[in-house]
């Protein structure tokens, strides 16, 4: 098997394409979360703390020369992503569990079994 053909089979398998789509969506979601933290969370919730520290931007936040503001922003972003992913997986698992718990079709009753036997006998009798 040629290298190109083998690579083509690998690259276009369902799992690889799904992974690529997931990475692209994850990158876009990461940008949304970063904007959410930088543009909404920081100004609304962290501004009082930043003002007490005499800092205008969270990236400038430092203590004894160690700038930990960017790290704090990254931790907040990670926590938001983790909560959203946990929630999504929980919903998916709940939906899968409901699908698995679907009631099995009811077995035929004794009367129904007897009627099926009679039907089958009549079919064989009529076909003779």
Q: What does pLDDT average to in each consecutive run of 10 residues of the chain (128 residues)? A: 82 76 85 82 76 75 79 82 84 82 76 90 82
pLDDT at 25: 86
Identify the residue whose tokens are 């930990």: 68
pLDDT at 52: 79
Domain boundaries, position 117: 3-127
Report the CATH number that the domain containing residue 95 is assigned in CATH.
1.10.1200
Q: Is the pTM of this model over 0.75?
A: no
pLDDT at 9: 80
For the chain, the domain total comes to: 1
Q: If 0-12 CB within 10 Å is exposed, 13-18 middle and 19+ buried, where does residue 37 land?
A: buried
pLDDT at 86: 86
């Amino acid at each position: 098997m040629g290298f190109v053909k083998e690579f083509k089979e690998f690259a276009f398998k369902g799992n690889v394409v799904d992974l690529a789509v997931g990475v692209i969506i994850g990158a876009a979601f990461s940008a949304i979360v970063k904007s959410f933290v930088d543009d909404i969370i920081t100004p609304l919730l962290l501004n009082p703390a930043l003002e007490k520290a005499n800092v205008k931007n969270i990236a400038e936040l430092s203590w004894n020369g160690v700038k930990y503001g960017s790290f704090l922003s990254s931790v907040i972003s990670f926590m938001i992503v983790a909560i959203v992913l946990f929630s999504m997986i929980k919903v998916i698992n709940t939906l899968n569990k409901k699908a698995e718990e679907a009631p099995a079709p009811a077995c035929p009753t004794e009367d129904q079994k007897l009627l099926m036997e009679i039907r089958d006998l009549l079919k064989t009798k009529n076909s003779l």
